[in-house]
Structure 1
Amino acid sequence: MMGNVTDMRIVTWNINSLRLRLPLLARLGEALRPDIICLQETKVPDDLFPADAVRDLGYAHVLYRGMKSYNGVAILSRVQLTSLDDTPDWCARSDCRHIAASFPLDGEAVELHNFYVPAGGDIPDPDANPKFAHKLAFVDEATTWFANRPNRRTILVGDLNIAPLEQDVWSHRQLLTVVSHTPPETSRLLAWQENGFVDAMRHFVPPQEKLYTWWSYRNRDWKASNRGRRLDHIWVTPDLTDRLVDMTVLRDARDWPTTSDHVPVVVDFRD
């Protein structure tokens, strides 16, 4: 990736507590020099967001939406951001799972949507598990919202908490009944994506090849077992596919000290 000519580098990362892992954010910035970083699970209320520390890392433009201990999303940028505030209150919960902005690319605005989809708990039954019901309802709402608006020059990123394709998990057969890869989830995520988006990661990595962004903390040796899932995504509208330069999953970050169980995903765009 580093050898390609790029004008805009965007990273998405479920950081799993921004204040706890602020040194890793600095390490990410030094390693990749991204123009924009989208974070999920920041787990910090807005009044305690470390905006000055983030700006000290070179990200002068910062948008965030957070709450204590749970959820939270943020966009950190070296380029000017314009906040997009006309987004829904998903499932009427006000639980800080979506933030959106626009930024200039090739002299014209691009919309950027950063999502943290509910994880859904452990039981893949919406009647027995309210968390799973919430997850399905959230994806349904998002699908409908994007289907009813003109989607052009749009990038959607985030921890969508669903691995939709067979090669997005270490074992399709064994995970069919495990939350994140069940048919009610995968069919919904693909329906959302097919409502006007291209999978930027699979634009570079064929769907028949394994591709993961998350490895459980429960795996003592995550590299040896390699029981991963692709829960983190970057989508673009078709009018931006000719701007795509390259994509990388920063697997090395899974070995950083006290790191997240997710790793950053990087996509480069040409202006």
Structure 2
Amino acid sequence: MTLKIATWNINSVRLRIETVARFVAQHQPDVLCLQETKCMDGQFPLADVRRMGFEHVAIHGQKGYHGVAVFSRHGLVDIDRRAFCGKNDARHIAVTLADGPGAGVRIHNFYVPAGGDEPDPAVNEKFAHKLGFLDEMQAWDALRVGAGTAKTVLVGDLNIAPLEHDVWSSKQLTKVVSHTPLERRRLTEVANAGGWVDMMRALTPEPQKLYTWWSYRAADWAAADRGRRLDHVWLSPALAPAMRQVEILREARGWDRPSDHVPVIATLSP
């Protein structure tokens, strides 16, 4: 039996709930993790989510900004929402699957701060916030999975493309937030300190290009193809042998009223 976990920065769940339904109908994930839902908990379109077949929902919302959610066809327990950097931003939610093929699997869903435009923490508070967020991720014991036997997944929009071929041109983007040497190093340090396995790159090594995001600013995103891999799937070493397939649903970027991110679907046999 397999477990399909999808992650997607939806850029407003209420605005794009029909797009979510289209994706779910076509690909039938067992678990769907969303970021940037931009919706308070009391306004979340739960009826629509349940019509898609997800009876179990965990949300962490915020008016107009941020927001993360987990939809599941299986029971959820041990739901946790962590605040980072002394802020009340809704950027993290964690759940454990109570039953089904992934029973016992712990899932962390993250939306790391984008960091603004200027990659200098001394003059850009948003960039300083991003670096501080990464510091707290690295120091958090719950994300140190390397030496244990726990089966854990970390997914989400981490807003950093860490490798050379995670962007269309590493040389041209070296001073652009999301691919600066400092961010790339810091995300790699977070992953290494936790003992995480980058599932996407384990199955599709460099130098193959991998993108999950294409800017709205491009007149023709597909022709320009100036993408970045900002969305990630990490596995604990105990779960890594279960990895089977990762699919980046590029065509979703061309759907009506698209997000600038596309879904990433990870298939496991836990």
Report the TM-score range of the alignment, normalised by the length of the smaller protein: over 0.9
Q: In the alignment, does 2:22 pair up with 1:19?
A: no
* Shift of residue 147, structure 1, vs aligned partner: 7.2
Match of 1:161 among 159, 168, 174: 159
Residues 6, 265 of structure 2: 8 Å contact kept: yes
Query: Which structure 1 residue ranges, 5 or more long, are not aligned?
Result: 1-5
In structure 2, the CA distance between the partners of 1:249 and 1:109, relative to structure 1 (3 Å rule), is same
Residues 10, 34 of structure 1: 8 Å contact kept: yes
Task: Read off the aligned partner of 2:183 and give its amino acid letter.
Answer: E
Q: How does 1:59-138 map to 2 (within 5 A)?
A: 59-85=54-80, 88-103=82-97, 104=99, 108-138=103-133
Deviations 1:146-185 (A, max 9, x none): 4775552110000000000000011101111000001111
Residues 63, 83 of structure 1: 8 Å contact kept: no
The whole-number CA distance in structure 2 between the counterparts of 1:158 and 1:82 is 20
The whole-number CA distance in structure 2 between the counterparts of 1:148 and 1:39 is 19
TM-score by length of 2: 0.95
Task: Read off the aligned partner of 1:242 and give its amino acid letter.
Answer: P
The whole-number CA distance in structure 1 between the counterparts of 2:236 and 2:16 is 32
The whole-number CA distance in structure 2 between the counterparts of 1:203 and 1:58 is 31
Task: Read off the aligned partner of 1:94 and give its amino acid letter.
Answer: N
Task: Read off the aligned partner of 1:235 and give its amino acid letter.
Answer: W
Deviations 1:24-68 (A, max 9, x none): 010010110000000000000011011111111100000000111
The whole-number CA distance in structure 2 between the counterparts of 1:97 and 1:182 is 22
In structure 2, the CA distance between the partners of 1:30 and 1:174, relative to structure 1 (3 Å rule), is same
The whole-number CA distance in structure 2 between the counterparts of 1:15 and 1:72 is 10
Q: In the alignment, does 2:254 pair up with 1:263?
A: no
* Shift of residue 88, structure 1, vs aligned partner: 3.6
- 1:234 counterpart residue number: 233
- 1:36 counterpart residue number: 31
* Identical aligned residues as a percent: 52
TM-score by length of 1: 0.94
Specify the SS of the correspondent of 1:31: helix
The whole-number CA distance in structure 1 between the counterparts of 2:41 and 2:56 is 15
Residues 63, 76 of structure 1: 8 Å contact kept: yes
The whole-number CA distance in structure 1 between the counterparts of 2:219 and 2:183 is 28
The whole-number CA distance in structure 2 between the counterparts of 1:108 and 1:24 is 28
Task: Read off the aligned partner of 2:177 and give its amino acid letter.
Answer: V
* Shift of residue 107, structure 1, vs aligned partner: 7.1
* Shift of residue 75, structure 1, vs aligned partner: 0.1
- 1:251 counterpart residue number: 250
The whole-number CA distance in structure 2 between the counterparts of 1:172 and 1:105 is 41
- 1:3 counterpart residue number: none
Aligned length: 265
Residues 83, 91 of structure 2: 8 Å contact kept: no
Query: Which structure 2 residue ranges, 5 or more long, are not aligned?
Result: none
Deviations 1:189-236 (A, max 9, x none): 011111210001011111211100000001111111110000000000
Match of 1:190 among 188, 191, 194: 188
The two structures, once aligned, show a CA RMSD in angstroms of 1.4
Task: Read off the aligned partner of 1:226 and give its amino acid letter.
Answer: D
Task: Read off the aligned partner of 2:264 and give its amino acid letter.
Answer: V
Residues 3, 101 of structure 2: 8 Å contact kept: no
The whole-number CA distance in structure 1 between the counterparts of 2:110 and 2:202 is 20
Task: Read off the aligned partner of 1:193 and give its amino acid letter.
Answer: A
Residues 137, 143 of structure 2: 8 Å contact kept: no
